[in-house]
Structure formats: structure tokens, C-alpha cells
Structure 1
Amino acid sequence: MTDRIANDSLRGRVMTAEEAAQFIAHGDKVGISGFTGAGYPKAMPAAIAEKAKEAHGRGEDFSIDLFTGASTAPECDGVLAEANALRYRMPYQSDPQMRNKINAGELKFQDIHLSHSGMMVEEGFFGQLDVAIVEAVRITEEGNIVPSSSVGNSVEFLNAAQRIIIEVNEWQSAELEGMHDIWTVPPLPNRVPIPITKAGDRIGTTYVEIDPEKVVAVVLTNDPDRNAPFKALDAVSEQIAGNFLDFLETEVKFGRLTYDGYVMQSGVGNVPNAVMAGLMDSKFENIQAYTEVIQDGMVNLIDAGKMTVASATSFSLSPEYAEKMNNEASRYRNSIILRPQSISNHPEVIRRTGLIASNGMIEADIYGNANSTHINGTRLMNALGGSGDFTRNAYISSFISPSVAKDGAISAIVPFVSHVDHTEHDAMVFVTEYGVADLRGLAPRERVQKMISIAHPTFRPLLEEYVEQASKSKYQATPHDLRHAFDFHLRMDETGTMQKES
């Protein structure tokens, strides 16, 4: 028996995932740990998927409603989607099979602000949560859970669930214990201020307190997180990163930022890692991160002494860096804090820390509205994630993106976004490889040329053409010509490109 289970009573509830699947019934609402491919259950999803397949083979219905922190992995979201084991999913996903099911109308999906999602489950907005399945590094002597490589919504799910299944994963480093900071907002009407004033403040416990009597099964695993390698930095990503760093220098010049006062939030991906690579050789020191995920670039900044602390709810590391974290977790405990996403993404703390937020997008329009989720307004890609939490509440909110996609067929700057995730009231700065569009202090019509200037040169004449048409409209506060506002998207739908035929 593993020494990761220190509670005598819970040692007696160890069983296989297939045996534990008996506690999952058709129609159950199930909350699981996991956030961006870290800390999700490794064995139970496959067991549930197999149970669904067997039921369907007998002509019986079997599906569950699934609640997570964010995305998981193919061996979780993927196997459940492939087995048609899901009726409803929230608040974020990134799995190709699941995406196809959602876009085909075969699976209901709700995109929810990550900071809201745990509270909504705990307060019963979706009904009673039947089961929580949570990955742990260890079960303590008292029967409490030491989370693994993410926290996400685990605390709220464990509080709300009628039954708990714990996966104890020996692949996860035991040295992660001590990295977590578990603190929860008291329920209404007894809420109090969150006592975090700096990214490095620790305010809670290193474990999640649970009711051991609710634990119906403990499953042992030894399986890695889904850690995808980041792409090699390309010239476009490096140019975008350079433009963003130039923007930071401008903020220093105007006294709105100091070289030792940069608090960052960063979305996941190649461009954010290029930004962090650029910070390595910059004048910025004592960098802090108050963000959602710890990425390779942040680990490098910590190793170089450029970043003093990184607070998040999860890791999002390449295989190489996941192994490094497992081997050196005891060292990184001094610099990395993993919190519940209800705290890592909380508007109160985001506003207080005065961070600069950087997130990706699918498209933005000439007035500064941004679409992060839907291609051509209808085809879901992933979801909003935490970008809304940070964009709305950051000291400075920015979006960074290449100017084109699909080998130049799609423009990231359009006349009118086909789906609005971030309004012009929240977005402040846009960055592409062609420059920076700083929209602060500008009325809608004043933003237009700034946005066109960062579009790909191929699309600038088409944008100018639209602006000329819109300028003839009766009302000039935010001029649009609704007969042509979605011409870019219509061409894309009809011909496969937003460009006009020559």
C-alpha cells in the first residue's frame, strides 16, 4: 500500500477505477479536478467512458454533466466525448473530439468566467453536485487532500459533492506538498475581503480540508499530466513579443510602470512564452506573476532571478519542464504558489495587484471589441477561460496576436467582430507583429486608424474601404454599415478566405 495515503480509514477504500465507476450513475453531475492539462483524474474518465459504452451497447442511456476547472486532456475530455458519455460540459474545453461534438450540437457546452464557475456549482446553480473526482499528491493523516499540479475548482467541488473519489497519483512529486495555498471566500452573506495585497502573499493551508465520510473510493495511479511541447519561437512571435516589450518601456517612460514593479498575467501559448523570453534580457527585475498558469517561460525567469514569485492555479508546462518541476519541486516551492481559481482569478485581487494582463484572441474589430472564442461567430474553438476575469479588472489589459491566420486567409483585425467576448470598454491595448494600438483615452472613431495600422498590409485597404462606407452612415458615434459589417466573414464562409478575389 502506498505511503501517500496516511489515513487508516481511507486506506480501506482503495479500489480500481473500474470498481469505483459503480459510484457514477446516469444523469449524475460530476466535478473533477484539472486545469489546462494538469492535475486531472487519470483513471476514472476512461472507466466512466467504458461504463457508458457498455450501457449504450445494451440500448440504455448513460451520460453525465461534467464540471471542471478548465481544459483537461484527451484521456479525460477526449475519451468521455468519444464515448458519448457527456450531456453537458462547463466552463472551458480544448479537446478536438469534444469541440467537434459541441459544434455538431451533440453536446451542450456553457462558456463561463472561470472565477465564477466554482461558486456557481457550490451554490447549486446547476443542481446538486453528485460526485467530485479529484487528483491528489497525498491524503493526510486527518484525511485531507494535498492537491497535485493544479487546484482549479477542486475546493468548491469537494465542498458541494455528495460523494468523493480521490485519485492518488504517484507520478506527481510528493514535494509539491507545501506549494499550495488553499483559502476560500466564505459563502454569502458572510463574505470578507481576500487578504492578498501582493502576488506572493500566502493566506491559507497547504491542503484541502474534506469530510472523509464522503469518500467512497480511493484510486491509485502513476500517470503523467498532458504536457504538450511549445512550438519553437518563430519570427512573428518574436516580433510581437518585441512590440509588447517596447510598449512596457513606453509605460516606464511615462511613469506608469517601474522596472521593478511589473506584475504580469499571461495567457497560454507560443507568443506569451516569446514575451517571457524577451523579458530575460530586459531591464525588468523582481517581476511578479499573478496569473492562471505557470509556463516554461516563468520557470526560466525564476531560475534567472528575474521573477521573484509566480502565483497561479495550475501548471501548463512542456514535458521537459514538467519533469524538471517534479525533480525540483522543493526548490520551486519558495517561488511558486498554487491557489484555487476562485482566488487566482478573483476580480478583487486582480484589481488590487495592479497587474498587466496579456491574452490571445481570434479577432478584434476597428473599435476595440475582441472575440476569443468563435470562428466566424458560430464555430467554437476553446472558450473564454480566465481572459474575461483579467481583461475586465487589470491595470492595463492587452491582447497579443499574429495579424493573420490560416496562411493569410483570415485577418485578426476585422470591421466588426463576429462574436463579442471582450467589449471596447475593457480592452485597452492590441499588439500584432505590425505594432501596438493603444486605445486608451480614444473615442471610437479615433481608434480606427490605430487598429488598421496593426492589421496585415493585405487587409488594410479593405478595412479602409469599410471605414469609408461606414462614415456615410447617419450616426457617427461608432459608425457601422450593417450591410457590409460582416463582409470579411461572409467571404470566409463562402470562399475560404477573407481576401477579395482580384
Structure 2
Amino acid sequence: MSQNNRIQHQGLKRKVCSAEEAAQFIHAGDLIGTSGFTGSGYPKAVPQALANRIKEAHALGKEFKVKLITGASTGPELDGALAEVNGVSYRSAFNTDPIMRKRINSGDTDYLDMHLGQVAPLYRTGVLGEMDVAIIEVVRICEDGRLVASSALANNQLWLNSAKKIILEVNQWQSAGLEGMHDAWEVSTSFPHQIIPLSSPCDRIGQPYMTVDLNKVVAVVETNAPDRNAPFSPSDENAKLIAGHLMEFFRYEVKRGKVPPQLFPLQSGVGNVANAVMEALGEGDFDNLTAFTEVIQDGMLNMLETGKMKVASATSFSLSPEKAEYFNDNTDFFRDKIILRPSEISNHVGVIRRLGCISMNGAIEADIFGNVNSTHIMGSRMMNGIGGSGDYARNAYVSIFMTPSLAKGGKISSIVPMVSHVDHIYQDVQVIVTEQGLADLRGLSPRQRAKLVIENCTHPTFRPLLREYYQMALKNNMAHTPILLKEALSWHERYIDTGTMIP
């Protein structure tokens, strides 16, 4: 019997077993749904035990792969472990693990990249198949069988409702203080959909617990392992410059009366630039900020602590190791300032539009007309996935994309004649920011956009080349969107051939 006081349901105490025993409930070809979103709240023990089973099967010449669907990216104990043994035949909907990335790009693993707000609705259509096993990390199992989710709510409740078999990982590392932060609200599956009654990031509309059919729980595994917490460097000089340009833009929007002094609810992608923006906001002259976003990062946690931000609504965390430890030690302070929702709510396009979110996301590259590539390297190699950026970009009050103007030590320009892959069409991209400057593209035609992006956002190394390209396009292609088809992707071809975009 378990000695873990976080497992308080007597029947489920009797189902406590090792990760190796739990992994026996998973079979080749199974569709597995797991908890987890952006490196938080994912199961850590059972996937590694499953990877060992798969490795042993492969050593005997037996085929053993599973299909895997998560809320977003996970960590090395899940994506990394299963990819290492080539154990995943199909993966959706987001990945940042480098080993899994190699499997995807080599063709070992089929990958469905999709908007994270569409994962749950698409699953319900049945096209992704029936879920055989759900592996869900929790903080506590209550006496009545209700579950306290860990650091990500994501699609957990849908997986619990849908899976034929359920394995629970009870993680002692996750703070017990997470209890009370979650707001589990299930979207109506009938048409027309019930209106989600959210009019502010502060609203709570659901329950703090997840529910489960206890008869479907086949195993409970005790763990004590941290989330995948990656360090960020908001001190990066380019990130600081990008943040500075955005602060000027926000002040201008407030001054002309188009944005309130407390701004609209903020959505921010993950990474150094995003954290630098949060750091700048924390030091700036905006007060009573709110966030309606997917992920809470270090900078946002800092603002909640200082009072600059009064509430942050998200579906998970993505903290540095130091900040994760600090959060775990201070959950009582943050409990009334953080609301964790299902990703179907955090990324719901109707709510995003209703709240008037200001959306800030990263880009791999943007072209002179404002089309953005956020997923593919040189047009074909998957980096991570589109994530939730598209959910927000098309529906935000202001849609902002941020990127340093150079990559690979100056060999690549992030502003190009034509992106090698389009994730966000220019109609969904309103503002582009690099360390060089900001281009407000709202209300502008393609030609007007091109001039502004070239002059404001391009690095001086590549600006003359883009000017030359655009003038040639105007001369030889007097059209609504001047493009030279033979030259538009020549920069990418040059990089592939020579290792640099510079002629």
C-alpha cells in the first residue's frame, strides 16, 4: 500500500504500482494521450518504462510503436525517451524535443502540426482515432476520487473522459499548493456551442478539480521528478532592443487612445525575447496588467509578484529552474493571481477576440509583405510546430511577431524576399519587430508593407539587397504584390549551397 499521503482514495491506493508494471498496460499500436504543455505537467516515469519495453521488443526484432498526442511539448522523459528508441509512429500536436525532431524530419515519425486550440475539437470528430491509454500527471488524488492537476491543465480532462485505460502519475515534486489554481470547464460538444462565459482573464467559470471514471484507472505510479525547466536569458541585447521598440509602440497606442493605460490582456510566446518583453513591462509605466495566454514564464511571474500584473490566465508554466523552485515554495502567494485553464479555453478563438488580446509571438523568418514562417527551417525541416500562435494571431486586437534580424551568426537574414514556408499569412500579421525597429503594418497594402519592413526591420547587412530585389520586382512585375518568382527563394538556395545568404 502506498505511503504517499497525496493518494487519499482508498481504492486507488490499491492500484499503486511501479512504472514498469504500469507500462505493461500499453500495447503496440496504441493511441496514447498524455498530460503536459510546454514542458510542464507531463508524465515522467511511465514513458521511460515504456521506452525500455519498446527497446527490448526491437532487440528481439518485434515491431513496437505507439501513437502520441499531448497538449503541447513535453520533456526528455517522454518525447525524448520514446524518440530515442524510435517508439512513436505518429505525433501531435507540438514538439520541442531535439531527438523527436530528428525522428520527424527523417520520416520515422509522422507528425501532425496544428493549432493547439484545435486539438480537442479535432479529436472529438474521431479522425485521430480512439484513445487507448491516457497517462496523466496529478498533484493529488482526493478521497472522493477527484484529481488535482499538476502544472498544466491542457487537454487532461478530455483524455480522462475518452481513454479506455488511465494511468495516473502522482508527482511529489509538483507543489501541493497548485490545488485551487485550476479552472476546469468543459466546452459543449453540441452545435451551436454554448457560449464560454468569460469576459475577463480574472473570471473563474469551472471547477478546481478534474474528474475520472475510477473503473478506468488501471495503475497509479508515484514519482518525484521536476518539469523540463529551461533557463532563459532576457539580458540578451537583441531581445532588450526588441522589447524597447514594443514599449514605445504600446505608449503610442495608449497616447492616441486606442489601448487603455493598463493595456489589453497580454499573450506571449515562449523564449528569451518574450521574457525580455515581460521584463520591460515589469519595469515600465504600465500598471494593473492582465494576461490571457498559454504559458506563464519568469517575467510574468515577476510582474505578479511586484503587483504590476494583477492576474495571469494560462494553461501551463514554462519557468527557469530557479523560478520553478521559487514558485513551488510560494504557491500560497500566487494562488489568487494565477488561473490554469484547459487549452481549449486558453486558446479559444472566440474568447481571444472577445477579450481583445495583444498577441506577441516569435518567428523564424518574415518576408517583406508580412507573411511569417514560425515552424520550418529552409522550408522543409520542422523546428517545433505552430503551437498556439495562430489561435491568437488571427483573433487578437493587435497581432505582433518578433525575431532578431539575423540568425546563424549573421549568415541568415530573418527578413527575406519570400518566406520558405507560410504559417501566418500577411492578413494575420499586423506588427513585425526586430532589434532594428518596428513595422506597424495595419492598414497598409503589400507595397506599403514591403517598404516599411525593409527600412525598419532588416539588418543593415541585408537591407541594400532587399531594396535591390524589391526595385527589380517593381520594375519587372507591376502587380499588386511584386514578386520575382525566380529570385524570391534564391536567398534560401544560396544558404543551402554556400552556408550563407550573403552573395
Displacement of 1:190 after TM fit?
5.7
Deviations 1:373-411, CA, capped at 9 Å, x for gaps: 001101111110000001011000001111001111111
Q: Secondary structure at the match of 2:429?
A: coil
Give runs of aligned pairs for residues 195-214 of structure 1, distance below 5 A.
Answer: 195-214=197-216
1:459 aligns with 2:462: yes
Displacement of 1:144 after TM fit?
1.8
Structure 1 partner of 2:434: 432
1:70 aligns with 2:47: no
Q: Distance in 1 between matches of 2:264 and 2:394?
A: 18
User: Which range moves more in the overlay, 138-147 or 175-184?
Assistant: 138-147
Q: Distance in 1 between matches of 2:349 and 2:192?
A: 18
Match of 2:495 among 479, 492, 495: 492
Deviations 1:115-136, CA, capped at 9 Å, x for gaps: 0112222332211110100000
Structure 2 partner of 1:124: 126
Structure 1 partner of 2:370: 368
Q: Distance in 2 between matches of 1:83 and 1:23?
A: 19
Give runs of aligned pairs for residues 137-286 of structure 1, distance below 5 A.
Answer: 137-189=139-191, 191-231=193-233, 233-286=235-288
Match of 2:101 among 93, 99, 102: 99
Structure 2 partner of 1:25: 27
- After superposition, the Cα gap between the structure-2 partners of 1:232 and 1:358, relative to the gap in structure 1 and judged at 3 Å, is closer
Displacement of 1:468 after TM fit?
1.6
Displacement of 1:475 after TM fit?
4.6
Displacement of 1:204 after TM fit?
0.4
User: Which letter does structure 2 place at the counterpart of 1:373?
Assistant: T
Query: Could you list the runs of 4 or more consecutive aligned residues of structure 1 that deviate by over 6 angstroms after TM superposition?
Result: none
Deviations 1:33-69, CA, capped at 9 Å, x for gaps: 0011110001011011011011111111100000001
Q: Secondary structure at the match of 1:146?
A: strand
Give runs of aligned pairs for residues 305-344 of structure 1, distance below 5 A.
Answer: 305-344=307-346
Structure 1 partner of 2:298: 296
8 A contact 2:23–2:47 mirrored in 1 = no
8 A contact 2:149–2:182 mirrored in 1 = yes
Q: Secondary structure at the match of 1:331?
A: helix
Displacement of 1:259 after TM fit?
1.5
User: Which letter does structure 2 place at the counterpart of 1:485?
Assistant: A
Q: Distance in 1 between matches of 2:71 and 2:368?
A: 33
8 A contact 1:72–1:93 mirrored in 2 = yes
8 A contact 2:140–2:148 mirrored in 1 = yes
Structure 2 partner of 1:449: 451
Q: Secondary structure at the match of 2:428?
A: coil
1:482 aligns with 2:485: yes
TM-score when normalising by structure 2 = 0.98
1:396 aligns with 2:398: yes
User: Which letter does structure 2 place at the counterpart of 1:115?
Assistant: G
Displacement of 1:277 after TM fit?
1.2
Q: Distance in 1 between matches of 2:231 and 2:364?
A: 22
Displacement of 1:260 after TM fit?
2.0
Displacement of 1:155 after TM fit?
1.4
8 A contact 2:32–2:67 mirrored in 1 = yes
Structure 1 partner of 2:114: 112
Q: Secondary structure at the match of 2:410?
A: coil
Deviations 1:285-332, CA, capped at 9 Å, x for gaps: 100000000100011101111000000000000111111111111210
Match of 2:423 among 414, 421, 426: 421
8 A contact 2:234–2:275 mirrored in 1 = no
8 A contact 2:173–2:226 mirrored in 1 = yes
Q: Secondary structure at the match of 1:471?
A: helix
Deviations 1:86-140, CA, capped at 9 Å, x for gaps: 0000000001111111111111111011001122223322111101000000111
8 A contact 1:444–1:477 mirrored in 2 = yes
Q: Secondary structure at the match of 1:187?
A: coil
TM-score when normalising by structure 1 = 0.98
| % identity of equivalent residues | 54
Displacement of 1:472 after TM fit?
2.8
Q: Distance in 1 between matches of 2:489 and 2:248?
A: 33
Q: Distance in 1 between matches of 2:281 and 2:352?
A: 21
Q: Distance in 1 between matches of 2:389 and 2:225?
A: 30
Aligned residues: 500
Q: Secondary structure at the match of 2:400?
A: strand
8 A contact 1:122–1:160 mirrored in 2 = no
1:10 aligns with 2:12: yes
Deviations 1:350-382, CA, capped at 9 Å, x for gaps: 001111000000000011100000011011111
Q: Distance in 2 between matches of 1:155 and 1:462?
A: 52
Q: Distance in 2 between matches of 1:306 and 1:47?
A: 44
Q: Distance in 2 between matches of 1:207 and 1:384?
A: 29
Q: Secondary structure at the match of 1:442?
A: coil
Q: Secondary structure at the match of 1:116?
A: helix
Q: Distance in 2 between matches of 1:361 and 1:472?
A: 30
Match of 1:470 among 466, 473, 476: 473
- After superposition, the Cα gap between the structure-2 partners of 1:207 and 1:190, relative to the gap in structure 1 and judged at 3 Å, is farther
